[in-house]
């Protein structure tokens, strides 16, 4: 059959989505790139993405393209900016709606169904096709902003994680160093993470009187009567007194309540 063509009274730009997928391997931030198989920029690395279809939203398009090109199926894609420079694509006028997404550690390690997709450490990424370097930088800026208000860090870790992993993650995203003790206290104090040791919910930290925490800084304050594992009493079920490598998990329920209490504003 003959090639179908589409005609309009006025010129229309093409519209694509591009997706910046962040990952964290426990030590540094990674991004997922695909190698372009066709011109333009054939052979260069680029953000996964592609042209929007007429029957899908930008969100659906980004998710589909990500799945097709990298094998990753991430449901939480966050739109952060639309790029509309006139000559950003040599073929024709292309406007790109950009998203970022967060992949779990397991995705980063296992990953790469698609042969042409690869994880790169942020500072080892090659130059990208089109204006994707710029898009990437904007995504990183947005991620830094968002982490002040959303507990996005947890989407980058496995469901159970150590406090040090969490701290390294925040340090990697924000590019600053935290005091270990202050970070630990601050995180517990919010009440949105809990010890994952036993199955029963141990109530750590105080939950009341929580206003706003300046993020800059995720550090402690005065420890206030928090129940702690007493090392003297022999813990029955775990024979080896495991005091190291304590695992924590994110408590979504408590986070939602916390946000509600604080007028939906949460600042780490």
Contacts of its own copies in 72-131 (CB under 8 A): 79, 81-82, 84-86, 93, 95, 97
By rule CB under 8 A, what count of residues binds its own copies? Answer: 44
**Nearest CA among 101, 29, 51 for reference residue 72:** 101
**CA 259 from centre of chain:** 19
Binding map of DNA across residues 210-239, x = CB under 7 A, - = no contact: xxxxx-xx-xxxxx----xx----------
- State yes or no: residue 196 binds DNA (CB under 7 A): no
- State yes or no: residue 209 binds its own copies (CB under 8 A): no
- State yes or no: residue 254 binds DNA (CB under 7 A): no
User: For the chain, first and last CA: distance in Å?
Assistant: 59
Note whether 34 and 66 are within 8 A (CB). Answer: no
Nearest distance in Å: CB 161, DNA:
10
- State yes or no: residue 137 binds its own copies (CB under 8 A): no
**How far is residue 217's CA from residue 174's CA, in Å, rounded to a whole number?**
10
**How far is residue 62's CA from residue 245's CA, in Å, rounded to a whole number?**
37
Nearest distance in Å: CB 62, its own copies:
10
The interface region with DNA, picked from 76-84, 119-127, 243-251, 254-262 by CB under 7 A, is 243-251
Q: Is 164 exposed, middle or buried (0-12, 13-18, 19+ CB in 10 A)?
A: middle
- Partner from its own copies, DNA, none contacting 134, C-beta within 5 to 8 A by type: none
Nearer to its own copies, 6 or 244 (CB): 6
Other CB atoms within 10 Å distance of the CB of residue 115? 9
- State yes or no: residue 29 binds DNA (CB under 7 A): no
**How far is residue 113's CA from residue 129's CA, in Å, rounded to a whole number?**
22
- Partner from its own copies, DNA, none contacting 210, C-beta within 5 to 8 A by type: DNA
Q: Is 98 exposed, middle or buried (0-12, 13-18, 19+ CB in 10 A)?
A: buried
**Token reading at 65:** 């393209």
Q: Which of 110, 227, 234, 245 binds DNA (CB under 7 A)?
A: 245
**Token reading at 81:** 């900016």
Nearest distance in Å: CB 56, its own copies:
7
By rule CB under 7 A, what count of residues binds DNA? Answer: 33
- State yes or no: residue 181 binds DNA (CB under 7 A): yes
- State yes or no: residue 33 binds its own copies (CB under 8 A): no
């Amino acid at each position: 059959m003959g090639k179908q063509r589409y005609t309009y009274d006025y010129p229309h730009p093409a519209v694509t989505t591009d997706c910046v997928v962040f990952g964290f391997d426990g030590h540094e931030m990674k991004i997922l790139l695909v190698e372009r198989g066709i011109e333009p920029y054939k052979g260069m690395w680029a953000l996964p993405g592609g042209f929007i279809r007429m029957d899908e939203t930008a969100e659906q398009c980004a998710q589909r393209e990500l799945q097709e090109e990298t094998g990753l199926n991430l449901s939480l894609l966050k739109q952060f900016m639309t790029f509309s420079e006139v000559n950003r694509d040599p073929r024709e006028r292309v406007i790109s709606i950009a998203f970022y997404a967060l992949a779990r550690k397991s995705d980063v390690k296992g990953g790469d169904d698609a042969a042409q997709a690869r994880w790169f450490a942020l500072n080892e990424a090659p130059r990208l096709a089109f204006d994707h370097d710029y898009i990437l930088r904007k995504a990183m800026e947005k991620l830094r902003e968002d982490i002040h208000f959303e507990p996005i860090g947890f989407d980058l870790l496995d469901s159970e994680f150590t406090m040090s992993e969490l701290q390294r993650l925040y340090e990697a995203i924000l590019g600053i160093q935290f005091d270990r003790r202050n970070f630990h206290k601050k995180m517990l104090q919010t009440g949105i993470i809990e010890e994952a040791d036993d199955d029963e919910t141990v109530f750590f930290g105080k939950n009341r009187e929580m206003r706003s925490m300046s993020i800059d800084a995720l550090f402690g304050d005065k420890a206030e009567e928090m129940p702690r594992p007493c090392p003297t009493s022999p813990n029955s079920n775990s024979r080896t007194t495991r005091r190291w490598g304590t695992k924590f998990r994110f408590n979504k329920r408590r986070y939602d309540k916390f946000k509600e209490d604080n007028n939906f504003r949460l600042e780490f």
